[in-house]
Chains A and B, each alone.
Chain A
Amino acid sequence: MHTKLLSTVVNTVNMGIIVVDTNAKILLWNQWITNHTGISEHDVIGCDLTTAFNEPVSPALIKAINNTLSYGLPTVLSNALHKSPLPLYSQLNNKNEHTLMLQSITVSYLAYQNNKTACMIQVIDASTSLKREKMLRSHSESLKREAITDSLTGIYNRRFFDDHFKLSIHNAIRHKQCMSVFLIDIDYFKQYNDNYGHLLGDKTLKAVALALKQQLARASDMIARYGGEEFVMIFPNFCYEQSVHFTERLIKAVYDLAIPHDLAPPHYRVTISIGTCSGLPSQNEDILDLADAALYEAKQQGRNRSVCKNLDETSTLCQN
């Protein structure tokens, strides 16, 4: 009665159980394994484990079984390092690489009556937990993306800039390479918002962000929304002369958008002012303060222009 009950349990349990003797010959093969191989216990009892399946068994599992039988120590095969050690399928009628079941396997040593020993292989279907993990991970990736993106303009936000800036300074110092920082501000933006309303203000911010972003040519270059109507760009390995030319392109790109702005003389369209600082930075991050000072100068000098500072020569070039 008891044996029958145990046998029923073994064949009902929702996991695979295979028991092999000290010569790796199969002693037990439960219904779950049959369900996922299409091979019945009757056909494999007494067979070698490696030949019981019509496909190969992973060498890592064979080694684990040998170790367990030799030393009596249990072994685990995690799904992270072994996807599918046994040729088991989730859907038997559709055997292909995609239906090969992801497994977590435990190999245990069994000592039973009269000093007999054997090895039990327990198999758990890891697909569901992996699917759940994948879902959680993609969720976490999208949250991470959101956390560093400015929701209005779709470019990076201040939080991302702060981290990226420190890293860029560090890299520039380490590789002894110059870098350029651009601070960009939309001219008379408060007046624009007051005159045209916040909805149009937001639309303009988006358009300017996009126009600026389109000027970026290298994967290493970064643009972020610095605050309100201010943007920041960091270009590694980009020297003073290059930055002077580049600011011209930025100013033209925004000017060419031709967004009307009745309160912005003399062009009466949306324009930007830029302050840049280029050169080999020092640890105290003054390159950003100098770019900010340059932006202030550009505003003072009449807007729609850039002021470029060179860290190496502390020279300043103004252009409009």
Chain B
Amino acid sequence: MILTDLQLDALAEVFNIGAGKAAASISEIVNDEVQLSVPSIEFKPSCLINADALTLNANKFGTVRQDFHGIFDATALLMFSENSALEIVREMMNSNLSLDELAEFEQDAMCEIGNIIINACLATMADMLSMRLDCSLPSYSIISSNEIVTEITHNTVQEYTLLLNVIFTSVKRQTEGRLVLLLTSASIANLIQRIDQFLAGI
């Protein structure tokens, strides 16, 4: 199964609109301007995902995970390298603590920020492609790049991966992350159908 360039462009546009909404929400919460963009999107069978492209050469990732069900079965993983994730939180909280000292409740903040980004992207997609989504609560964990690569490339149920680059820009820094959507082939078929309906309606 493949997505044509036109279909990928349509998805990229949908996710960028979602990212814009997420940025507005986060800016409101932290009272400071935050920008989010999705400059590139890639679609591949999960087993063919390039580990280097996925892991950005980081050893550990702060990962927010949400599972989606319905006509669209997917797992969304928003990943920032562990240091970037904690730096984002530290900046949001105006904290002067060292990264080691960032406590659990501060990691909750990352869970919330990830939840906002994933929800905004997926909700915009659901909206524009007229889909209904059911979704689990977000969970935050720190996992190694090996674990994440193994999970994605050995996934026999969710055989396809949508890999999006996410650029998170705040006053002080620009951070690159990955939004990974792991999809079943049935979900991809549904997704392609909805994108085509959307494109036909423009």
A contacts, CB < 8 Å to B: 60, 63, 67, 70-82, 104, 106, 108-109, 111, 126, 129-130, 133, 136-137, 140
Q: Which of A71, A76, A108, A133 contacts B112 (CB 8 A)?
A: A76
Classify the interface of chain B: helix, strand, loop or mixed: helix
**CA gap between A126 and B112 in the complex, in Å:** 15
Q: Are A104 and B108 in contact (CB under 8 A)?
A: yes
**Contact B135–A74 (Cβ < 8 Å):** yes
Within 8 A of A (CB), among B125-184: 126-127, 132-138
User: Closest residue of chain B to A122, judged by CB?
Assistant: B137
6 contacts between A and B (CB under 8 A): A67-B123, A76-B111, A79-B108, A80-B89, A80-B92, A80-B106
Query: In the bound complex, what is the Cα–Cα distance between A70 and B132 (angstroms)?
Result: 10
Q: Is the CB of B105 within 8 A of A73?
A: no
Q: Contacts of A104 on B, CB cut-off 8 Å?
A: 108
Which chain B residues lie closer than 8 Å to A108 at the CB level?
Answer: 137
| CB atoms of B135 and A72 under 8 A apart | yes
Contact A106 B135 (CB under 8 A): no
Task: Note all chain B residues with C-beta closer than 8 A to A106.
Answer: 137
Complex contacts, B132 vs chain A, CB 8 Å: 72
User: Cβ of B78 < 8 Å from any Cβ of A?
Assistant: no
- Return chain A residues, CB-CB under 8 Å to B136: 74
Given A74-B137, A81-B112, is A130 in contact with B105 using a C-beta cutoff of 8 Å? yes
Does the CB pair A78–B135 fall under 8 Å?
A: no
Q: Does B25 contact A (CB under 8 A)?
A: yes
Majority SS at the chain A contact face: mixed
- For chain B, the count of residues having a C-beta within 8 Å of the partner chain is 31
Q: Choose among A67, A70, A74, A80 the residue that contacts B109 (Cβ–Cβ < 8 A).
A: A80
- Residues on B with beta carbons closer than 8 Å to the beta carbon of A77: 112
- Show the binding face of B for A, using Cβ within 8 Å: 25, 28-30, 89, 92-93, 97, 101, 103-106, 108-109, 111-112, 115-116, 119, 122-123, 126-127, 132-138
- CB pair B115–A136 under 8 Å, yes or no, is no
The reply to whether A75 and B103 form a contact with Cβ atoms under 8 Å apart is no
List B contacts of A126 (CB < 8 A).
105
B50 to chain A, nearest CB (A): 30
Residue of A nearest to B26 (CB): A81
Check B25 against A63 for contact (C-beta < 8 Å): yes
Q: How far is the CA of A71 from the CA of B68 in the complex (A)?
A: 12
Say how far B62's CB is from chain A's closest CB, in angstroms. Answer: 14
A110 to chain B, nearest CB (A): 11
A109 to B133 alpha-carbon distance, docked (Å): 11
Residues of A within 8 A of B104 (CB): 129, 133
Complex CA gap A16/B111 in Å reads: 21
Q: Is the CB of B133 within 8 A of A73?
A: yes
Query: Across chains A and B, which 6 residue pairs bring their CB atoms closest together, nearest first?
Result: A80-B109, A78-B108, A71-B123, A78-B112, A73-B119, A78-B109
CB-contact partner of B105 in A72, A79, A109, A140, under 8 A: A79
The smallest C-beta distance from A212 to any residue of chain B, in angstroms, reads 29
Residue of A nearest to B124 (CB): A71
B93 touches A81 (CB 8 A): yes
* Bound Cα distance from A137 to B28, whole angstroms: 28
Which of B92, B103, B122, B135 touches A81 (beta carbons < 8 Å)? B92
| Given A71-B127, A136-B103, residue A80 in contact with residue B108 (CB < 8 A) | yes
Do B126 and A71 touch (CB < 8 A)?
A: yes
Cα of A81 to Cα of B138 in the assembled complex, Å? 16
Cα of A260 to Cα of B136 in the assembled complex, Å: 77
**Inter-subunit contact B119/A67 (CB<8 Å):** yes
Complex Cα gap A109–B119 (Å): 13
Beta-carbon contact of B123 and A78 below 8 Å = no
Cα(A79)–Cα(B109), bound, Å: 7
Nearest-neighbour CB distance to chain A for B101, whole angstroms, equals 6
**Smallest CB separation, B121 vs chain A (Å):** 10
Q: Check A73 against B29 for contact (C-beta < 8 Å).
A: no
CB-defined contacts of B29 to chain A, threshold 8 Å: 60, 81-82
A71 and B133 in contact (CB under 8 A), knowing A77-B112, A137-B103? yes
